[in-house]
Amino acid sequence: MWVMAAQVKRAFKYRFYPTQAQAAELSRTFGCVRKVYNLALAARTEAWTLNRERVGYNATSAMLTAWKKTEELAYLTQVSSVPLQQALRHLQTAFTHFFAKRAGYPRFKSRKRSRRSAEYTASGFRFRDGELTLAKMAEPLAIVWSRPLPEEARPSTVTVSQDAAGRWFVSLLCQDPAVRPLPVTGGTVGIDAGLDHLLTLSTGEKITNPRHERHDRTRLAKAQRELSRKAKGDGANQAKARRRVARIHARIADRRRDFLHKITTRLVRDNQTLVIEDLTVRNMLKNRSLARAIGDAAWSEFRRMLEYKATWYGREVIAVDRWFPSSKLCSACGNRQSDMPLHVRAWTCGCGTSHDRDVNAAKNILAAGLAVTACGAGVRPQRDSSRTGRSAVKQETPRREP
C-alpha cells in the first residue's frame, strides 16, 4: 500500500571548480555576507541593551541600504544584494529560535572559523539548460554533476560554500518527486549503538564500527605536527599546512557520512518502526577517554539521518529513555540483573536463556519502544533509580577505546 504525501524539498550538493575571477567574486561575497551579519547583530544587540527595543528584519534591511551609502561600507555595493539580504533573514531566524528557547543567543561570525557560504534566491541566479550562473558573473559555474537533478527541477535557492580544505560546493534546493512514502511493511527493529560494533540490531545483526578517524590518525598527527612547527606570521606556509590538515579531516568526514547514509537508508527501507536510545551525546563527550571514539562513531548524525529519512518515507522512529536498563534485563523473562559490569559481553539468565549483551539490549530497546507506542506518545520507560543524579553515560560503552 502506498501513502501519498506532499513533495519534499531536497538539497542536491555538487562540487564545482570556479575560475579565478569567480573565486575572487565569491570570496568578496563571503566577506560581505559576514560583515552584514555582524553589523546587524551588533545593531540589534545594542538596541536591546540600551533601549530594550527589538529590531526586526525590516529595520536591518533599511540599515543595509544606509550602510551602502557610507564611504566606509561602499564596497558592499560591489557584490550581489541577494546574499546580503539572505544573511539578514538568517539572523532573523536565529533570533526567532532564541526567543522560542530552541537555541542560544546568535554569535558573531569569525573570519577564520565561521563557514564561508552565501545563499542566493531565484532573483540572484539563472539556471538554464543544465547551467548555473550566479549574479555578478558572466560565465556559468563548472559543476561536476555527479548525480542528476529531478526532471524539470527548478531550484528555489542556491547555496555556494567553500570548506576548510579549499573545496567549492554548490547546493541546489529543489522539489524531489522521487521522495515519497514507501509501501507499509510490518518490520520492526531495535537499535543499540556502541563502539565495538557501531550498531547492534534486535535481529542479531551487528554492524562493524569502521573507525574512520583511527585509520587516518597517523597521517592526521603528522600533518598537525607540521602545522604546529610553522612560525607565526609565515602566512603562506602556515596556510598550506592548515589546508593539509583540513583535507585529512574532510576525507574522514566524507567517508563517515557516506557510510551512515548507506546504513540509515537500508534500515529505513527494510523497517516500518525503528527504536533507538535517546542518548545525550554531548554529555558523553565529556568523558576524556571516550570522547574521540564517540565523536568518530557520530551517533548524533546517525540519529539525524534516520529521523529525516523516516519522515520522507513514512516510517516511525521511537526514542526510549536513556536511563532504561536495556543491558540488565532478560529479553526472555524480564528478570533484571542487579549488576552488569562492562566487561561482561555474554551472560546467562536464571531462566536458562543465554544472551549476547548487545543483542539482548537491542531486543529490550525494541520491546520498550513498542510499549511506548501502545501506551501513547510521550510515555517513557521508568527511570533507573540507581542512577539518579548521575550524568548520562551509555552503559554499553567500554571504559577505553578498543
Active site residues: 192, 277, 358
DSSP 56-69: -HHHHHHHHHHHHT
Q: Which residues pair with 347 in a beta bridge?
A: 355
Neighbours of 44 (CB within 10 A): 21
Cβ atoms within 10 A of the Cβ of 159, count? Answer: 18
Is there a contact between 308 and 274 (Cβ–Cβ < 8 Å)?
no
* Residue written as grid cell 572559523: 113
Give the closest residue to 55 by CA, choosing from 73, 34, 74, 40: 40
Q: Do the Cβ atoms of 76 and 24 come closer than 8 Å?
A: no
Q: Compute the distance between CA of residue 402 and CA of residue 387 in angstroms, rounded to an integer.
A: 26
Q: What is the DSSP string of 344-368?
A: --EEE-TTS-EEEHHHHHHHHHHHH
- CB burial class (10 A; 0-12, 13-18, 19+) of residue 298? buried
* Alpha-carbon dihedral sign for residues 17, 215, 290, 309: positive
| C-alpha–C-alpha distance, residues 167 and 155, integer Å | 22
